[in-house]
Amino acid sequence: MIASWFVSDIVRNPATHRDEHEVRHIVQAIGSSSIAKAQEFVKDYIPKEGPHKPAVYASYEEVYNDPNVDIIYVATPHSLHMKNTLDAIKAGKHVLCEKPMAINAAETKKMVDAARAKGVFLMEGSVWTRFFPVAKELQKLIHNDKAIGTVRRAFLDFAQDRPFDTLPSDSRGRDPKLGAGVLLDMGMYTLTWASMVFHSNLKAKDAGQEHEQPKVVSRMSLNGGADEMSTVVLEYPKSHAQAICTSSYLSTTNHEFGLVEGTDGSIGIYGETTSKPGGLVLRVKGKEPQRMDFPVDGWGLFYEADAVAKNVRDGKTENESMPLDESMRVMRIIDEARQQNGLKYPQE
């Protein structure tokens, strides 16, 4: 599914679509388990009148070995991310790997180590949300403008009503062998928002060091070897602050999926989904609420794609807003939450 969103976004002309003149994206090749599937994908998502027709392959390896390809976009189920990414890195390709980077911190570390050893770019694509202008505005309001004073609490939720028993048992949404589980799949966005709220201006070198690391308390409802509902409380004792991060397949998130409370006011975060934010409501004590809309034409995956293209063009191997240490940090929180609830994947 996500590969279709991503490709539909990046085949738009950046210059005419969003006034982005520094980069352009060419889909050079599509790899799939079958040629027919890959051809169908090209028919559905690559513009017929466009200048480029991608090569189609019935294996991922052929994409890794295609000399026209600079960067691989990994969009497979969670438990396959490590293998796909390591194979691509071995072939010398840069990688944008869909969220979550892997099923645990140990796998993530292998991927990070491999990319660093090979000197190629790697980023976890979960965090397309970080690249939306609204996410940048939120961080500016909180960290630069101190618009709501000192932040004390953040409530962040991502819920979509699709219980496990409504899904095929071998789907990535339900099968623990494929890395199913709502915290890994959707709760990780709530942890991403918490990071944007509590960890200002992430940089490759200081992520995980400069900022206070939270204590983690978690409760999950498990069903068939994966979590269907999950709550993670992040406590920052020195800052006297907490983030309450909830995710569920048994409910639907409010349009306003996030609330950040500070000593001088609060900020509501709203949008189509927690991964695709649309705006903010700034409520400063004693002032009229101020609503800020950030409409998006398309899915919004082009924001991260543009940032990654600039990084690759500039010879960078990590993105400053989403460094690899941050992927490791979030994955350790998820590991800790799973451990507190006795949730292990079959591969572990």
Ligand X SMILES: NC(=O)C1=CN([C@@H]2O[C@H](COP(=O)(O)OP(=O)(O)OC[C@H]3O[C@@H](n4cnc5c(N)ncnc54)[C@H](OP(=O)(O)O)[C@@H]3O)[C@@H](O)[C@H]2O)C=CC1
Ligand Y SMILES: O=C1OC[C@@H](O)[C@H](O)[C@H]1O
Q: Which residues between 254 and 273 bind ligand Y (CB under 6 A)?
A: 273
Report how many helices (DSSP H) and strands (DSSP E) the chain contains, helices first.
11, 13
Omega before residue 54 within 30° of 0, cis: no
Of the candidates 75, 96, 183, 331, which one interacts with ligand X according to CB under 6 A?
75
Q: Please classify residue 16 by burial: count the beta carbons closer than 10 Å to its beta carbon, then call 0-12 exposed, 13-18 middle and 19+ buried.
A: exposed
Residue 57 CB, shortest distance to ligand X, in Å, is: 10
Of the candidates 185, 227, 325, 335, which one interacts with ligand Y according to CB under 6 A?
185
Residue 336 CB, shortest distance to ligand X, in Å, is: 20
Residue 124 CB, shortest distance to ligand X, in Å, is: 10
Site size toward ligand Y (CB under 6 A) is: 5
Residue 149 CB, shortest distance to ligand X, in Å, is: 32
| Residue 275 in contact with ligand Y, rule: CB under 6 A | yes
| Residue 33 in contact with ligand X, rule: CB under 6 A | yes
Tokens of 220: 């999950």
Q: What is the DSSP string of 205-227?
A: TTTTTTSPPPEEEEEEEEETTEE
User: Tokens 């983690």, residue?
Assistant: 216
Task: Give the residue with the Cβ less far from ligand Y, 160 or 340.
Answer: 160
Alpha carbons 135 and 158: distance in angstroms, whole number: 16
Cα three-residue angle 30-331-132, rounded to 5 degrees: 60
| Residue 298 in contact with ligand X, rule: CB under 6 A | no
Residue 2 CB, shortest distance to ligand Y, in Å, is: 7
Residue 189 CB, shortest distance to ligand X, in Å, is: 8
Q: 155-190 b/e with 16+ CB inside 10 Å = b?
A: bbbbbbebebeeeeeeebbbbbebbbbbbbbbbbbb
| Residue 186 in contact with ligand Y, rule: CB under 6 A | yes
| Residue 326 in contact with ligand Y, rule: CB under 6 A | no
Of the candidates 157, 185, 227, 325, which one interacts with ligand X according to CB under 6 A?
185
**Secondary structure (H, E, C), 261-286:** EECCEEEEEEECCCCCEEEEEEEECC
| Residue 32 in contact with ligand X, rule: CB under 6 A | yes
Q: Please classify residue 131 by burial: count the beta carbons closer than 10 Å to its beta carbon, then call 0-12 exposed, 13-18 middle and 19+ buried.
A: buried
- Binding segment for ligand X (CB under 6 A), chosen from 46-54, 70-78, 85-93, 157-165, is 70-78
Of the candidates 85, 108, 190, 275, which one interacts with ligand X according to CB under 6 A?
275
List interacting residues with ligand Y (CB under 6 A). 160, 185-186, 273, 275
Residues that bind ligand X (CB under 6 A): 1-3, 32-33, 37, 75-78, 80, 98-99, 128, 172, 185, 275
